[in-house]
Structure 1
Amino acid sequence: MDAPSATRSELLARRRRANLAVQGRDLLQDKRTALVRAFQARSTSLLQRLEELARDAAQAHRRLDRARAELGTAAVESASFAAAGRIGVRLTDSAVAGVVVVDAEHAEVRRAPGARGYETTLVDPHVDAAADAFEEEVDALLDLAALELTVRRLAEEIARTTRQVNGLEHVVIPRLRGEARRIALALDEREREEIARLKRARTQARRRTQARSRSSR
């Protein structure tokens, strides 16, 4: 990179850019603080709900094992095939601390026993109990998926903002301030040299005047 010209305009330009970089760093630090708050709140909620999901999943598998023990694997699988279906999911955008994230809205997962496609009078209540538990698990999983995506997006943005802050704090601002100091020193040195030159010129002029005055006597 070429050295900046040691001019008054360059000095003012470097100082102005340094001030703008400081303002940008402060704004990014404020943004990072807001992102960290949002991340902490959502990550705490995510961990809690993951723990709840783990407990619900364990209960669902216990109910499924009970149904298999009572009816046999073939009967349970037959009921599961009849209950298969689709779940509508709609993605929407929203802003969290200034960062665009994706939210997922889904159709109701849990169904009444009569809406699962099999004849309820021919199916043991253990199958309905297992179906209830797994539908609740799927419902929680869909909600958690959107929350986890948001947490990951916030974490990525925090890392990116931190890199920007560090770049301004440790590279851009010191460089601009250093250039401004070097320009100021060069200008000061140039001013001192100009003052010394003027003093020498005045001294020489005074001596010539005195010499002419003596020679004219």
Structure 2
Amino acid sequence: MALDVKPTRSELIQLKNRIKLSERGHKLLKMKRDGLILEFFKILNEARNVRTELDAAYERSREKINLASAVNGVVEVRSTAFTAKESPAISLSGKNIMGVVVPKISSTGVRKPMYERGYGIIGTNSYIDEAADSYEDLVEKIITAAELETTMKRLLDEIEKTKRRVNALEFKVIPELTAAMKFIRFALEEMERENTFRLKRVKARMKT
């Protein structure tokens, strides 16, 4: 029985090329996904360490400020804090991790020499200096943690997008193209058999 659809060898070749392209893209996307996952876990370990350091820095800062307040009084400590001449400056840029642009946070003026903090060295004591040191360390840890956690979120989003594309190629696009190619190949073989059968009948009639 003749097929209603009359595919061509050109269509078969086009499908083969599309399958090869899809398989190559699938392989590259899997490599990208695996590379992103490795980067994510590497940064995750770093972020865990920074988070532990951040929690410790926070507790240390609370202890130092409470001790400074107990020795000097809350009003004196607050007055000293307001003498800071300059606020820290934060700048945001980007860096590339396997095609994903993630933030790079830089800071200046967070950690200051004692003479740049704005309060007089003679009028204060070491408790205030230690409190200032601990809070400068805390701010640096916060900036580092913010950079790492934002980077992790960007990488995780890209991993999910890449996984969806890998799955779409693996379970939908490539199987559908392969099925279409098999159908066209079968149809062409059927057409060839029909043509061969017709040719034999024509030759048989010519002999009679």
With normalisation by structure 2, the TM-score equals 0.91
Q: CA deviation at 1:37?
A: 1.5
Displacement, 1:177? 0.8
Identify the residue that residue 171 of structure 2 maps to in structure 1: 170
Alignment correspondent of 1:137: 138
Q: Name which of structure 1's ranges 89-98 and 9-18 shifts more when overlaid on structure 2.
A: 89-98
Q: CA deviation at 1:5?
A: 5.6
Between the aligned partners of 2:132 and 2:85, the Cα distance in structure 1 is 11
- Per the TM alignment, residue 44 of structure 1 is displaced from its structure 2 partner at its CA by 0.7
Q: For residues 85 and 25 of structure 2, what CA distance do their matches in structure 1 show?
A: 54
Asked which structure has the greater CA Rg, the reply is 1
User: What are the residue-to-residue correspondences of 1:154-169 with 2, within 5 Å?
Assistant: 154-169=155-170
Q: Equivalents in 1 of 2:85, 2:201: separation in Å? A: 100
Letter aligned with residue 78 of structure 1 = S
Name stretches of at least 5 consecutive residues in structure 2 with no aligned partner: none
> Deviations 1:118-153 (Å, cap 9, x if unpaired)?
122212321111111001110121122222222221
Gaps spanning 5+ residues in structure 1: where? 210-217
- Secondary structure, aligned partner of 2:82: helix
1:64 corresponds in structure 2 to 65
Match of 1:39 in 2: 40
> Residue 92 of structure 2 contacts residue 105 of structure 2 at CA under 8 Å; is this kept in 1?
yes
Tell me, yes or no, if the aligned pair for 1:39 and 1:154 is still in contact at 8 Å. yes
Alpha-carbon distance in structure 1 between the residues aligned to 2:58 and 2:6: 69
Describe the SS at the equivalent of 1:105. Answer: strand
Determine helix, strand or coil for the equivalent of 1:82.
coil
CA distance in 2 between counterparts of 1:195 and 1:42 reads 65
- 1:16 matched to 2:35? The reply is no
Q: In the alignment, is residue 97 of structure 1 matched against residue 98 of structure 2?
A: yes
Cα shift readout 1:91-130 (whole Å, capped 9, x = no counterpart): 2322212322221221141122221111222123211111
Aligned to 1:212: none
Higher mean displacement: 83-92 or 139-148: 83-92
Partner-residue secondary structure (3-state), 1:122: coil
CA contact (8 A) 1:87 1:106 kept: yes
Q: Which amino acid aligns with 2:132?
A: A
Give the superposition deviation at 1:203: 2.7
Mapped contact 1:38–1:97 kept (Cα < 8 A): no
Q: Per the alignment, in what secondary structure is the counterpart of residue 120 of structure 1?
A: coil
Residue 84 (structure 1) shift: 6.2
Counterpart of 1:103, as a letter, is K
AA aligned to 1:42 is: I
Cα 1:108/1:85, change in 2 over 3 Å = closer
**Equivalent residue runs for 1:81-96 within 5 Å:** 81-83=82-84, 85-96=86-97
* 8 Å contact from structure 2 (residues 50, 144) kept in 1: no
- Percent identical pairs in the alignment equals 34
Q: Give the number of equivalent residue pairs.
A: 205
Higher alpha-carbon deviation: 89-98 or 172-181: 89-98
The alignment yields a C-alpha RMSD, in angstroms, of: 1.8
SS at match of 1:92: strand
Partner of 1:49: 50
Q: Which residue of 1 aligns with 2:120?
A: 119
